[in-house]
Amino acid sequence: MSPPPALIETEGLTRILPEVVPVTLVEDVTLAIGEREFVAITGPSGSGKSSLLYLLGLLDRPTRGRLRLAGIDTDPMDEAARAARRLAMLGFVFQFHFLLPEFSARENVEIPMRKLGRLSRPAIRDRAGELLESLGLAGHVDKRPDQLSGGQRQRVAVARALANDPPLLLADEPTGSLDSQSSEQVFAILADLVHGRGKTVVAVTHDLELAARMGRRIHLVDGRVVSDERISAAGPPG
Amino acid sequence: MRLILDIAVTHIVGRGRQTLVAILGVAVGVGFSVAMAALMQGGQDDLIAKLVDTMPHVQITDDRRTPPVQPAELAFDAAAIAGLRPREDRRGIINPTAAFAWLKEWVPGRVAASLTTQGVVRYLGRDVGATVVGIEPKAERGVSSLVEDFVDGSFEALDVGGNNVVIGDRMAGRLGAGVGDTVTLVSSSGLSRGFKIVGLYHTGITARDEHEAYILLKSAQILDARINVVNEIRIRLDDPAAAPAVARRAEARLGYKSMSWQEANEQILEALVVRNVIMYTVVAAIMLVAGFGIFNIISTITHEKARDIAIMKSLGFSRGDMQRLFVLEGLAIGLAGSLLGWLLGFALVYALASVHFELNAGGRELTRLPVAWEPLHYAIAAGFALASAAVAGYLPARKAARQPPVDIIRGAT
Ligand SMILES: Nc1ncnc2c1ncn2[C@@H]1O[C@H](COP(=O)(O)OP(=O)(O)O)[C@@H](O)[C@H]1O
Ligand SMILES: [Mg+2]
Instruction: Indicate whether B82 pLDDT > 60.
Output: yes
Identity of the amino acid at A39: V
B381: part of which helix (H) or strand (E)?
helix B375-402
Number of other CB atoms surrounding residue B358 within 10 Å: 7
**Chain A partners of B405 at a C-beta cutoff of 8 Å?**
59
Q: Which of A26, A58, A59, A96 to mutate to test the interface with B (most CBs of B within 10 A)?
A: A59
The per-residue pLDDT string of chain A (238 residues; one tens digit each, 9 = 90 and over) reads: 555 558 999 999 999 998 889 999 999 999 999 999 999 999 999 999 999 999 999 999 999 999 999 989 999 999 889 999 999 999 999 888 789 999 999 999 999 999 999 999 999 999 999 999 988 899 999 999 999 998 899 899 999 999 999 999 999 988 877 788 888 888 898 999 999 999 999 999 988 888 889 989 999 999 999 999 888 654 444 3
Identity of the amino acid at B388: S
Identify which of B52, B13, B30, B19 has the alpha carbon closest to the alpha carbon of residue B343: B30
**Do residues A153 and A102 touch, judged by C-beta distance below 8 A?**
no
Beta bridge partners of B114: B232
> Chain A residue closest to B317 (CA)?
A83
**Do residues B380 and B317 touch, judged by C-beta distance below 8 A?**
no
Identify which of B250, B387, B344 has the alpha carbon closest to the alpha carbon of residue B33: B344
Instruction: Indicate whether B342 pLDDT > 60.
Output: yes
The alpha carbon of B140 is separated from its chain's Cα centroid by a whole number of angstroms, namely 24
| A76 occurs within a structural domain | yes
Please indicate if any CB of chain A lies within 8 Å of the CB of B226. Answer: no
Q: Which of A60, A61, A102 to mutate to test the interface with B (most CBs of B within 10 A)?
A: A102
Which stretch of B40-44, B115-119, B216-220 has the lowest confidence by average pLDDT? B40-44
Residues B131-167, buried b or exposed e (16+ Cβ, 10 A)?
A: ebbbbbbebbbebbebeebbebbbbebbeeeebbbbb
DSSP state of B66: S
Alpha-carbon distance A148 to A153, whole Å?
A: 6
CATH no. for residue A191? Answer: 3.40.50.300
Long-range contact list for B126-131, CB < 8 A, 24+ apart?
B126/B174, B126/B175, B126/B176, B128/B171, B128/B174, B128/B175, B128/B210, B128/B211, B129/B211, B130/B167, B130/B171, B130/B185, B130/B211, B130/B212, B130/B213, B131/B211, B131/B212, B131/B213
Q: Give the pLDDT mean for B228-248.
A: 90
Instruction: Indicate whether B409 pLDDT > 90.
Output: no
Instruction: Indicate whether B120 pLDDT > 90.
Output: yes
Identity of the amino acid at B300: T
Task: Read off the pLDDT of residues B277-290 as tens digits, 9 standing for 90 and up.
Answer: 887 788 778 777 77
Window 255-314 of B: residues touching A by CB (8 A cutoff) are 307-308, 311-314
Question: Higher confidence at residue B14 or residue B31?
Answer: B31
Task: Read off the pLDDT of residues B193-211 as tens digits, 9 standing for 90 and up.
Answer: 999 999 999 988 888 899 9
Instruction: Identify the pLDDT of residue B86.
Output: 59
Which stretch of B271-285, B299-313, B363-377, B397-411 has the lowest confidence by average pLDDT? B363-377
Confidence label for B50 from pLDDT (cuts 50, 70 and 90): confident
A59 to B413: CB separation less than 8 angstroms, yes or no: no
| A138 occurs within a structural domain | yes
Alpha-carbon distance B84 to B91, whole Å?
A: 19
CA distances from A203 to A4, A54, A68, A122, B207 (A): 19, 12, 19, 32, 96
Instruction: Identify the pLDDT of residue A237.
Output: 43
Say whether B292 sits in a helix, a strand or coil: helix
Q: Closest approach of chain B CAs to the CA of A234, in angstroms?
A: 31
Alpha-carbon distance A167 to A37, whole Å?
A: 11
Please indicate if any CB of chain B lies within 8 Å of the CB of A16. Answer: no
Identify the nearest ligand to the CA of A20 by its number: 1
Q: Give the pLDDT mean for B169-189.
A: 91
Number of other CB atoms surrounding residue B285 within 10 Å: 12
Averaged pLDDT score across all residues of chain B: 85
Instruction: Identify the pLDDT of residue B248.
Output: 92
| A237 occurs within a structural domain | no
Instruction: Identify the pLDDT of residue B389.
Output: 84
Alpha-carbon distance B397 to B11, whole Å?
A: 14
Please indicate if any CB of chain B lies within 8 Å of the CB of A57. Answer: yes
Confidence label for B123 from pLDDT (cuts 50, 70 and 90): very high
Please indicate if any CB of chain A lies within 8 Å of the CB of B11. Answer: yes
As a three-state string, the secondary structure of B190-259 is: CCEEEEEEEEEECCCCHHHHHHEEEEEHHHHHHHCCCCCCCCEEEEEECCHHHHHHHHHHHHHHHCCCEE
Instruction: Identify the pLDDT of residue A5.
Output: 59
Say whether B39 sits in a helix, a strand or coil: helix
Please indicate if any CB of chain B lies within 8 Å of the CB of A17. Answer: no
Q: Give the pLDDT mean for B22-31.
A: 88
> Chain A residue closest to B12 (CA)?
A102
Q: Which of B3, B19, B314 to mutate to test the interface with A (most CBs of A within 10 A)?
A: B314
Q: Give the pLDDT mean for B335-346.
A: 93
Domain that holds residue A224: 8-230
Instruction: Identify the pLDDT of residue B364.
Output: 53
Nearest-by-Cβ selection for B317 from A99, A102, A115: A115
Identify which of A149, A114, A109, A117 has the alpha carbon closest to the alpha carbon of residue A133: A109
Task: Read off the pLDDT of residues B58-79 as tens digits, 9 standing for 90 and up.
Answer: 999 888 877 666 777 777 777 7
Length of chain B in residues, anyone? 413
Alpha-carbon distance B365 to B202, whole Å?
A: 11
Q: Which of A14, A23, A29 to mutate to test the pocket of ligand 1 (most atoms within 8 A of CB)?
A: A23
**Chain B partners of A55 at a C-beta cutoff of 8 Å?**
none
Number of other CB atoms surrounding residue A21 within 10 Å: 5
- The contacts of residue A63 (CB under 8 Å, 6+ apart) are A14, A15, A16
Instruction: Identify the pLDDT of residue B363.
Output: 47
B311 to A100: CB separation less than 8 angstroms, yes or no: yes
A102 to B405: CB separation less than 8 angstroms, yes or no: no
ipTM: 0.87
CA distances from B187 to B191, B201, B331 (A): 5, 22, 73
| A172 occurs within a structural domain | yes
DSSP state of B55: S
Strands B58-61, B258-260: parallel, antiparallel or unpaired by DSSP? Answer: antiparallel
> How many distinct structural domains can be found in chain A?
1
**Do residues B156 and B210 touch, judged by C-beta distance below 8 A?**
no
> What are residue B109's phi and psi, to 5 degrees?
165, -155
Alpha-carbon distance B120 to B279, whole Å?
A: 45
Instruction: Identify the pLDDT of residue A112.
Output: 95
Alpha-carbon distance B225 to B2, whole Å?
A: 89
Residues B74-87, buried b or exposed e (16+ Cβ, 10 A)?
A: eeeeeeeeeeeeee
Beta bridge partners of A10: A31, A67
Task: Read off the pLDDT of residues A100-130 as tens digits, 9 standing for 90 and up.
Answer: 999 999 999 999 999 999 999 999 999 999 9
| A3 occurs within a structural domain | no
Ligand 2 center from residue A69 Cα (angstroms): 22
Instruction: Identify the pLDDT of residue B407.
Output: 83
Identity of the amino acid at A161: A
